[in-house]
């Protein structure tokens, strides 16, 4: 349970961060526990996290601000291990380095700054830019569906501050109902499968049958086979054209001979 001083301080900070939220950051305390805060970081432009929706928690100690919170990011990002405590100078890994003047906004700005760097620490991971962009594109789906999982037992839940895939998105939905509704609309508009997070591909129109007299087996084969057939046809055509070109005189002479022979026979018949 929060001390009176911690409760007063966190209430004041909630009012402050609600009225003046830092760029890319939203945060609020849980309705049932003022020591449990939920945040969302929106991936900034010019980073592989651009457009991503990163949800996490700050679990404050009862004697805050004289000790720092435990910091976790639940959404897979390619930067942090999902739901793992992060070792930062602003987290509970380093209570002696924590400054009581730092507020929730200060902590989250520091987290965002660390996220967009490449510095490694306990709880961070290494991933390629492509992997991080891929996870950013799936982050809305992951948050609202728990990674595509379904709630099997409403009585079972993750440990304190340790939200993982498997709850069907229940925790996220309860803490961020409006954003969850936006995510569902986004998934419908973009035809995202609720189970897999992949884009739904509608059945393509029936394709045409084999054309140009190409056998069905070849038409269904690789592009190399098709090219081979086309090349053979062109070679045959060119071969025919080459023979005609090289024997034009012979053909002309034969035509003249036939013409003279026919004329002579017709002349003899009339005489």
Highest mean pLDDT of the ranges 133-137, 159-163, 232-236: 133-137
pLDDT, mean of residues 229-242: 49
pLDDT, mean of residues 131-146: 97
| 142-165 exposure pattern, b = at least 16 Cβ within 10 A, e = fewer | bbbbbbbbeeeeeeeeeeebbbeb
- Shared domain for 264 and 173, answered yes or no, is no
- Shared domain for 150 and 245, answered yes or no, is no
Mean pLDDT in the chain? 82
Q: Report residue 143's pLDDT band, with 50, 70 and 90 as the boundaries.
A: very high
∠ CA 94-132-202 to the nearest 5 degrees? Answer: 145
- Shared domain for 222 and 185, answered yes or no, is no
- Is there a domain that residue 95 lies in? yes
- Shared domain for 175 and 250, answered yes or no, is no
Does residue 87 have an active-site annotation? yes
CA atoms within 13 A on the CB side of 138: 22
How many separate domains does the chain show?
A: 2
- Shared domain for 263 and 155, answered yes or no, is no
Task: State residue 233's pLDDT score.
Answer: 41
Would you say residue 235 has pLDDT above 60? no
- Shared domain for 28 and 155, answered yes or no, is yes
Task: State residue 262's pLDDT score.
Answer: 72
The predicted-structure confidence for 50-104, as pLDDT tens digits, reads as follows 999 999 999 999 999 999 999 999 999 999 999 999 999 999 999 999 999 999 9
Would you say residue 222 has pLDDT above 70? no
- Is there a domain that residue 228 lies in? yes
- Is there a domain that residue 197 lies in? no
Whether 86 and 121 have beta carbons less than 8 Å apart is answered as yes
59 forms bridges with which residues in the sheet?
36, 70
Question: Which of 66-70, 130-134, 213-217, 252-256 is predicted least confidently?
Answer: 213-217
Task: State residue 202's pLDDT score.
Answer: 76
In which element (H, E) is residue 72 found? Answer: strand 70-73
Q: Report residue 252's pLDDT band, with 50, 70 and 90 as the boundaries.
A: low
Order of strands, edge to edge, in the sheet holding 25-29?
A: 25-29, 36-42, 53-59, 70-73
Task: State residue 154's pLDDT score.
Answer: 42
> Which residue among the candidates 25, 70, 87, 137 is catalytic per the annotation?
87
pLDDT, mean of residues 33-62: 98
Would you say residue 145 has pLDDT above 50? yes
- Is there a domain that residue 179 lies in? yes
- Shared domain for 130 and 8, answered yes or no, is yes
- Shared domain for 181 and 228, answered yes or no, is no
- Shared domain for 126 and 258, answered yes or no, is no
- Shared domain for 99 and 221, answered yes or no, is no
Domain C-terminal end among 189, 206, 224: 189
∠ CA 97-103-105 to the nearest 5 degrees? Answer: 115
Looking only at the bridges linking them, the beta strands covering 70-73 and 53-59 are: antiparallel
pLDDT, mean of residues 111-131: 96
Domain CATH code at residue 17: 3.10.110.10
The predicted-structure confidence for 155-207, as pLDDT tens digits, reads as follows 444 444 555 556 889 999 999 999 999 999 999 999 999 999 999 987 655 54
- Shared domain for 68 and 115, answered yes or no, is yes
Alpha helical stretches, state H, the chain? 4-19, 104-115, 129-145, 170-175, 177-189, 216-219, 223-246, 248-270
- Shared domain for 110 and 244, answered yes or no, is no
- Is there a domain that residue 206 lies in? no
- Tokens 């992060």 belong to 86
27 forms bridges with which residues in the sheet?
39
Query: Rounded to whole angstroms, how far apart are CA atoms 35 and 65?
Result: 11
- Is there a domain that residue 220 lies in? yes
- Is there a domain that residue 118 lies in? yes
Whether 101 and 107 have beta carbons less than 8 Å apart is answered as no
- Is there a domain that residue 208 lies in? no
Task: State residue 55's pLDDT score.
Answer: 98
Task: State residue 161's pLDDT score.
Answer: 54
Q: Report residue 231's pLDDT band, with 50, 70 and 90 as the boundaries.
A: low
Task: State residue 267's pLDDT score.
Answer: 66
Q: Which domain holds residue 80?
A: 4-189
Would you say residue 40 has pLDDT above 80? yes
């Amino acid at each position: 349970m929060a001390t009176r001083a911690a409760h007063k301080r966190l209430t004041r900070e909630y009012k402050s961060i609600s009225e003046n939220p830092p760029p890319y950051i939203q945060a609020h305390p849980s309705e049932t526990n003022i020591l449990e805060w939920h945040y969302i970081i929106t991936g900034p432009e010019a980073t592989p996290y651009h457009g991503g929706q990163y949800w996490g928690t700050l679990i404050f100690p009862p004697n805050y601000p004289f000790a720092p919170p435990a910091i976790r990011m639940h959404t897979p990002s390619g930067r942090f291990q999902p739901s793992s405590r992060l070792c930062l100078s602003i987290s509970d890994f380093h209570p002696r380095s924590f400054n009581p003047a730092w507020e929730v906004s200060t902590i989250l700005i520091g987290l965002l700054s660390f996220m967009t760097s490449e510095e490694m620490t306990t709880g961070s991971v290494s991933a390629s830019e492509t992997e991080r962009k891929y996870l950013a594109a799936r982050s809305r789906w992951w948050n609202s569906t728990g990674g595509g999982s379904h709630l099997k037992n409403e009585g079972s839940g993750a440990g304190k501050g340790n939200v993982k895939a498997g709850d069907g998105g229940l925790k996220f939905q309860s803490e961020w109902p409006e954003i969850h509704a936006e995510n569902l609309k986004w998934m419908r508009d973009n035809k995202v499968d609720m189970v897999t997070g992949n884009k739904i591909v509608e059945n393509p129109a029936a394709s045409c049958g084999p054309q140009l007299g190409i056998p069905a087996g070849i038409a269904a084969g690789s592009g190399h086979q098709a090219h081979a057939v086309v090349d053979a046809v062109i070679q045959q055509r060119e071969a025919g054209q080459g023979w005609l070109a090289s024997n034009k005189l012979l053909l002309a002479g034969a035509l003249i001979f036939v013409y003279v022979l026919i004329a002579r026979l017709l002349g003899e018949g009339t005489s």
